[in-house]
Structure 1
């Protein structure tokens, strides 16, 4: 009989001392469950985060699944930054040969269907996906794993460090994205996921460590 992995709940920790998360490669069950501050019926979003991960293989940063669909909203990193939205996908090729910290922002707006990626504050080419769509509310929001609701299994696990994960229900301006990438004081926090404020449940051996993303 498999032993239940302990769960650590983080909530109300001062943002100045909030740790980064390390997802060990040897534990396939490591993930973070998020209790969003805002419902997940989204017609626009921006997801920003710092990640320090091995280049190459596809690794899930955030996944949102409902009973109707596993890949309602999924963002991955690797040789490309992938976006799954309502069962459809697009990707942004990246050329990354190191394991240093990298700041990402992925944004999308339903009226235009335009999806965009910023890396370290620099805006890349836009892609078109799911014009007029709205994500469904009432699902499960995770960091570090892509969940198959039907089989109850996980895939494309994240390995490495993750920090400053924020999710907004709108598209940020280029100036807002640059401020986040430059680690400016008083940086904005998301209204769906607010790093250091949103309740998070860590399971499967996710390790807490000092946040060095802005050093």
Structure 2
């Protein structure tokens, strides 16, 4: 049974200087709700390790409130806005080091969906899974290493030059984890099936990584695995 979490508005969070960091188990940690009416809502993430990556896997549950392209995660540096960006919508888009690829979605995104994407610099191979089912692999940015020292956010794309955010996500997001390695297909399926003893990322660990909620993002009960 999910615990009922009170809504917390951004002003309360900012005034109290709170970060979302806790000893709460990830299985009971609340979901983030990004309201439709507030285009300024996003979450600042303070990664556990630097973002100089030669490989990664990003997994999360999302329940979007409209079908257009929406940014789930955005990592930008002073040199490049699209260092690592993932979007969902009618397809899944992925930016790595300023280069873009997309994966078609043959699914109506009306309820909770589990997304995973993985990339390795060694081969440039990029894999995508929806609800544990693998899509066709693609190649991008072979030999690339992402730059450290940037800004990591959930729910918005960041324009470093203008200092603005755009392409916002609306809806619910939970169990966001980022690893500095490629997970096995079996591990991805276990995450999608909500099996006990869930793996947690070493860069973003859901329920442990410090995060700051801004612009009206609130905490709501996580219903993704029900």
Q: Give the TM-score of the pair, scaled to structure 1.
A: 0.96
CA distance in 1, matches of 2:132, 2:77: 31
CA distance in 2, matches of 1:17, 1:127: 35
Give 1:13 deviation, angstroms. 4.1
Q: Which residue of 2 aligns with 1:52?
A: 63
CA distance in 1, matches of 2:224, 2:207: 15
Is the deviation greater in 60-69 or in 12-21?
A: 12-21
Q: Which residue of 2 aligns with 1:113?
A: 124
Deviations 1:109-131 (A, max 9, x none): 00110111000001110111000
| 1:1-215 mapped onto 2 (5 Å cutoff) | 6=11, 7=14, 8-15=18-25, 16-215=27-226
Please state whether the residue corresponding to 1:14 is helix, strand or coil.
Answer: coil
CA distance in 2, matches of 1:108, 1:102: 20
Q: State whether residues 55 and 97 of structure 1, in contact with CA within 8 Å, keep that contact through their aligned partners in structure 2.
A: no
Structure 2: stretches of 5+ with no match in the other structure = 1-9
Please state whether the residue corresponding to 1:9 is helix, strand or coil.
Answer: coil
Q: Give the TM-score of the pair, scaled to structure 2.
A: 0.91
CA distance in 2, matches of 1:32, 1:54: 18
CA distance in 1, matches of 2:86, 2:43: 15
When the two chains are superposed, the root-mean-square deviation of aligned CA atoms in Å is 1.0
Q: Across the two proteins, how many residue pairs are aligned to each other? A: 211
CA distance in 2, matches of 1:164, 1:171: 17
Please state whether the residue corresponding to 2:19 is helix, strand or coil.
Answer: strand
Q: State whether residues 50 and 102 of structure 1, in contact with CA within 8 Å, keep that contact through their aligned partners in structure 2.
A: yes
Give 1:199 deviation, angstroms. 0.3
CA distance in 2, matches of 1:166, 1:96: 23
CA distance in 2, matches of 1:173, 1:153: 36
Q: Which runs of 4+ in 1 moved over 4 A?
A: none
